[in-house]
């Protein structure tokens, strides 16, 4: 019986993966293994006994390779357009791998999610929907190029001023969640969030195993004893019918939607879907329709092994929401306590960013990351094309590598035009014409050296290069872990003392000790003579 169930799980997960166009780590039946208790850092020796990881990825971890952006000649195309992304799951997943003593899968690395997992001290834009911070400096890793840092900061909203919220937690209670770092951590996370809600808010709980059922009808957040009892009653049961769970949750969220309030579905799962989804597009279409009606989806991943990163990321993307991953209790606190207002209340939706480089000043450029968020140039002005949303206080940071034509080009008054298009979240969708912000980028913001750039800007480069190194990017082939540690050591002391930045150094050192991949680009021309302008796109 057990062997038959495991075989069906593998077959069903494979079907979902194929429907999504997934490049899977492994298609063999899942392997049973023990998981350490959800301590702040799982002991590497516990994990190493359980499975081989990079040679044959353990227990069917599902990721998708989106390739690596190429360097583009401005004579061929001088406009770069992408949708914003405030997801952070890729960074937390990588941390979870490293804390267990192994290198993360390369296809699990999305550079923009690493970058946006860190704070960069952008000032509050005040009454404006968001502010813009831009700075450039010579690249320490790519000769002849500059790094361009573009940051957006959403308007902050005080907790006392946020809108009333209707939350429908949709919790996976299938057999695969029967571990403390999964359902146990979900219950702890939920309990922390309840403490942040007040009389303005309502909370519902839907669970799904073989089928879906409502554990808690819409309940005022002040009824804490009823909510806590419902949370404590959660226990594993059956297989994984995520579609049934989401359909029930959306029906509740839609029934509670009111003007001047927020309705959101929050899915907590390991992403495994072995029952209910026969056509992946059908569930996406349903979620898109609810998103158009103002009910958005946040997906939160838990657990490693039998984990479907592709499904969780895609669900959040089509549901106009955020994708996060919780690997420890402190991460749950950051998501459900410290970032609660930003997670729940939007200040701008369908946010698109476009940079138009002056061909006379910039000869080539490359967007670092955002491979699965790229848009066509004409999509920028097309209000029918969906894009990412920005919540209260959220930040979005993007890095480019740009090559100026020559030193004289830096004497030009400007080198690019930055455009941002967004919709007011309070505007009715039918009449939701977007608004545009346009800003000329003067060459005066180009610093003479890396050291002349601000500390947060230098931090963004260290994070980006670390992610590029982990995913085996061709463009980071000259970067060594020693270089990353040196770059980290040059950060201002006030930054290095931050917990998240201190952790970055620890992760770099862990990756350095686990990385046995060797140099896949050893046959490439030497760095001193390499023509960085004509190289293949790595996919």
pLDDT at 104 over 80: yes
pLDDT at 18 over 50: no
CB 266 within 8 A of CB 168: yes
pLDDT at 228 over 90: yes
What distance in Å separates the CA atoms of residue 290 and residue 415, rounded to the nearest whole number? 41
CB-side neighbour CA atoms (13 Å) of 33: 20
Residue 197, C-beta contacts closer than 8 angstroms, at least 6 positions apart: 165, 167, 203, 221
pLDDT at 391 over 50: yes
Which pLDDT band, with edges at 50, 70 and 90, does 406 fall under? Answer: very high
pLDDT, residue 428, reads 56
pLDDT, residue 56, reads 43
**Mean pLDDT: which of 70-74, 187-191, 244-248, 315-319 is highest?**
70-74
Which pLDDT band, with edges at 50, 70 and 90, does 242 fall under? Answer: confident
Which pLDDT band, with edges at 50, 70 and 90, does 16 fall under? Answer: very low
pLDDT 10s digits, 277-316: 545 567 788 899 999 888 999 999 998 877 889 889 999 9
Which pLDDT band, with edges at 50, 70 and 90, does 523 fall under? Answer: low
Task: Please provide the DSSP assignment of 439-471 as one string.
Answer: EEEEGGGB-SSSTTS-HHHHHHHHHHHHHHHHT
User: For the chain, give me the number of helices (H) and strands (E)?
Assistant: 15, 16
pLDDT 10s digits, 116-172: 999 999 999 988 888 999 999 999 999 999 999 999 999 998 888 899 999 999 999
Q: Assign 3-state DSSP to the chain and report helix, strand, coil percentages, each to 5.
A: 35, 25, 40
Expressed in angstroms, the distance from the first to the final Cα of the chain is 41
* Coil vs helix vs strand at 128: coil
Model's pTM, two decimal places? Answer: 0.86
Q: Between 41 and 513, where is the model more confident?
A: 513
Q: Between 471 and 272, where is the model more confident?
A: 471
pLDDT at 30 over 50: no
What distance in Å separates the CA atoms of residue 276 and residue 337, rounded to the nearest whole number? 33
pLDDT 10s digits, 328-367: 999 999 998 888 877 788 889 899 999 999 999 999 999 9
Residue 352 bridge partners (DSSP): 83, 421
- 304: closest CA among 180, 190, 188, 189? 180
What does the buried/exposed string (b/e) look like for 253-292 if buried means 16 or more CB atoms within 10 Å of the residue's CB?
Answer: bbebeeeeebbbbbbbbbbbbbbbbeebeebbebbeebbe
pLDDT, residue 426, reads 74
What is the pLDDT averaged over residues 397-405?
Answer: 98
pLDDT, residue 436, reads 93
pLDDT, residue 59, reads 58
pLDDT at 50 over 60: no
CB 450 within 8 A of CB 486: no
Instruction: Dihedral sign for Cα 177, 179, 182, 187, please.
Output: positive
The proportion of the chain whose per-residue pLDDT surpasses 90, expressed as a percent, equals 64
What is the pLDDT averaged over residues 88-93?
Answer: 96
pLDDT at 83 over 80: yes
pLDDT at 32 over 70: no
pLDDT, residue 24, reads 43
pLDDT, residue 58, reads 52
**Ordered structural domains, the chain, with CATH:** 2-48 (no CATH), 63-157+347-382+393-539 (2.60.40.1230), 161-344 (3.40.50.410)
Q: What is the layout of strands, in order, in the sheet containing 323-326?
A: 212-220, 202-208, 165-172, 262-269, 295-302, 323-326
- 111: closest CA among 69, 56, 55? 69
pLDDT, residue 146, reads 97
* Coil vs helix vs strand at 148: strand
pLDDT, residue 481, reads 97
Q: Between 57 and 325, where is the model more confident?
A: 325
Residue 526, C-beta contacts closer than 8 angstroms, at least 6 positions apart: none
CB 401 within 8 A of CB 145: yes
Residue 58, C-beta contacts closer than 8 angstroms, at least 6 positions apart: 26, 31, 33, 50, 51, 52, 304, 305
pLDDT, residue 43, reads 36
* Torsions phi, psi for 235 (to 5 deg): -150, 155
Average pLDDT, the chain: 84
pLDDT 10s digits, 447-495: 999 999 999 999 999 999 999 999 999 999 999 999 999 999 999 999 9
CB 172 within 8 A of CB 242: yes
């Amino acid at each position: 019986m057990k062997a038959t169930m495991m075989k069906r799980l593998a077959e069903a997960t494979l079907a979902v993966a194929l429907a999504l166009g997934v490049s899977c780590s492994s298609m063999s039946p899942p392997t049973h293994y023990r998981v350490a208790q959800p301590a702040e850092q799982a002991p590497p020796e516990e994990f190493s006994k359980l499975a081989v990881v990079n040679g044959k990825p353990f227990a069917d971890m599902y990721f998708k390779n989106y390739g690596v952006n190429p360097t583009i000649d401005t004579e061929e195309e001088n406009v770069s357009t992408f949708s914003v992304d405030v997801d952070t799951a890729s960074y937390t997943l990588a941390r979870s791998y490293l804390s267990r003593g192994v290198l993360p899968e390369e296809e699990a690395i999305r550079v923009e999610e690493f970058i946006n997992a860190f704070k960069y001290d952008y000032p509050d834009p005040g009454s404006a929907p968001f502010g813009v911070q831009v700075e450039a400096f010579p690249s320490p890793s790519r000769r002849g190029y500059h790094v361009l840092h573009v940051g957006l900061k959403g308007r902050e909203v005080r907790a006392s001023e946020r809108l009333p919220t209707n939350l429908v937690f949709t919790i996976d209670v299938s057999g695969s969640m029967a571990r403390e770092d999964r359902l146990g951590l979900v219950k702890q996370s939920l309990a922390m969030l309840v403490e942040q809600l007040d009389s303005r808010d309502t909370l519902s709980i839907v669970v799904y195993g073989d089928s879906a059922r409502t554990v808690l009808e819409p309940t005022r957040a002040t009824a804490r004893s009823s909510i806590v009892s419902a949370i404590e009653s959660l226990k594993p049961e059956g297989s994984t019918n995520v579609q049934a769970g989401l359909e029930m949750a959306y029906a509740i969220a839609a029934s509670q939607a009111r003007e001047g309030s927020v309705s959101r579905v929050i899915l907590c799962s390991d992403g495994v879907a072995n029952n209910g989804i026969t056509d992946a597009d059908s569930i996406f279409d349903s979620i898109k329709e609810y998103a158009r009606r103002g009910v958005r989806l946040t997906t939160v991943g838990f657990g490693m092994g039998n984990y479907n990163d592709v499904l969780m990321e895609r669900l959040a993307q089509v549901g106009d929401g955020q994708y996060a991953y919780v690997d420890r209790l402190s991460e749950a606190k950051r998501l459900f306590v410290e970032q609660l207002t930003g997670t729940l209340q939007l200040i701008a939706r369908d946010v698109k960013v476009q940079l138009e480089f002056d061909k006379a000043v910039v000869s080539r450029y490359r967007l670092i990351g955002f491979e699965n968020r790229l848009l066509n140039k004409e999509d920028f002005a097309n209000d029918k094309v969906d894009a990412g949303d920005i919540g209260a206080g959220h930040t979005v940071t993007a890095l480019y590598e740009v090559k100026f034509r020559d030193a004289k080009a830096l004497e030009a008054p400007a080198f690019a035009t930055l455009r941002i298009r967004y919709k007011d979240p309070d505007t009715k969708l039918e009449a939701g014409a977007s608004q545009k912000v346009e800003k000329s980028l003067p060459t005066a913001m180009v610093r003479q050296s890396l050291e002349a750039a601000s500390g947060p800007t230098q931090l963004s480069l260290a994070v980006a290069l670390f992610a590029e190194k982990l995913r085996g990017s061709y463009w980071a082939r000259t970067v060594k872990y020693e270089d990353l540690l040196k770059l980290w050591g040059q950060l201002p002391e006030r930054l290095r003392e931050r917990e998240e930045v201190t952790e970055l150094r620890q992760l770099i050192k862990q990756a350095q000790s686990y990385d046995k991949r060797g140099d896949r680009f050893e046959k490439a021309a030497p760095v001193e003579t390499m023509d960085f302008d004509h190289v293949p796109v790595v996919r």
